[in-house]
Homo-oligomer: A and B are copies of this chain.
Amino acid sequence: MKVNDVKVIRRAGPGKGPVVRARPFDAGADRRSRIDNLLSSEEQAKLASIATVLEYKRAGIAIFSQGEDAHFLYAVDKGFVKSSRHDEEGHRQILAFMWHGDLFGIAEHGHYVNTAETASPATIYRFPLQRLRRLLNAEPQLQIHLLTKALHDLRLAQRQIVALGQFHIYRRLASLVFDFSQHPEIYDAKTHRLALSLSRTDIADYLGTSPELVARAFSLLERDGILRRLTPRIIEIADAQQLAELQQKWTRNGQ
């Protein structure tokens, strides 16, 4: 890693709050919970008062590693982050991607259980756990928001369990592409262009397969007219309808 890949740009002061967002208790659409129902500005300010802002200048920088002592909770402001777990044989499973407003850094017995690395240049807010705990004791509302976030992430994890347990690579990849296309930061709705900014290996480690199979699945999605590869990491979504159908069938609840 180069020097100055990470820069602590400032101690966040009031009025420059981190953007942590949530919905009330048992609500929260899998996707939309991230962009609705901002915390009140007081809550924002209180969080801001204990936050440090970190600038990560490129993708692939470790924020923390599995097993390290956990002293902070993190929130994504700009860019995105991948969370992964390694086993002793060196295999890696990417568990989730975190975007604007998402929290990460869960621990167990004081150690991080996952590794977090930037998946793009990113701005990250960092909260010392000690001070966060004190703040939470004083602010039940903030606690509810954290709980809501945790439940949301749990639902997402369960969705991923269904994907890995039930679907072929083709559909899992379609699902990933759909999810990514919901982020304006990397998807241009006008040109239908999506900047994946992930290697085939990263995608494979998320889908639970190999880079070769990911390449083949892309090739099949292209054959079926769902997308086109402009470069390996920039794709054009040709049939958003069909893509959404591959995804939404099993995302929605049968009400």
**Chain A residues engaging chain B, CB cutoff 8 angstroms:** 25-30, 66-67, 70, 85-89, 91, 93, 95, 106-114, 129, 133, 136-137, 140, 143-144, 146-147, 150-151, 153-155, 157-158, 160-162, 164-166, 207-208, 249-250, 253-255
B154 pairs with A255, CB closer than 8 A: no
- Report the minimum CB–CB distance from A21 to chain B (whole Å): 16
- 25 inter-chain pairs at a CB distance below 8 angstroms, sorted by A residue, are A26-B106, A26-B110, A27-B108, A29-B109, A66-B253, A66-B254, A67-B254, A85-B158, A87-B162, A87-B166, A88-B249, A89-B249, A93-B161, A93-B165, A95-B161, A95-B162, A106-B154, A111-B255, A137-B140, A147-B147, A150-B151, A160-B161, A161-B161, A161-B164, A164-B164
In the complex, chain B residues whose CB is within 8 Å of the CB of A144: 136, 143
Task: Tell whether, in the assembled complex, residue B108 and residue A28 are in contact, meaning their CB atoms are under 8 Å apart.
Answer: yes
A86 touches B26 (CB 8 A): no
In the complex, the count of this chain's copies comes to: 2
Question: A87–B249 contact, CB under 8 A?
Answer: yes
Contacts of A85 in B (CB 8 A): 158, 162
Interface centre among A140, A160, A165 (most CB of B within 10 A): A165
Structural contact, A166 and B107, CB atoms closer than 8 A: no
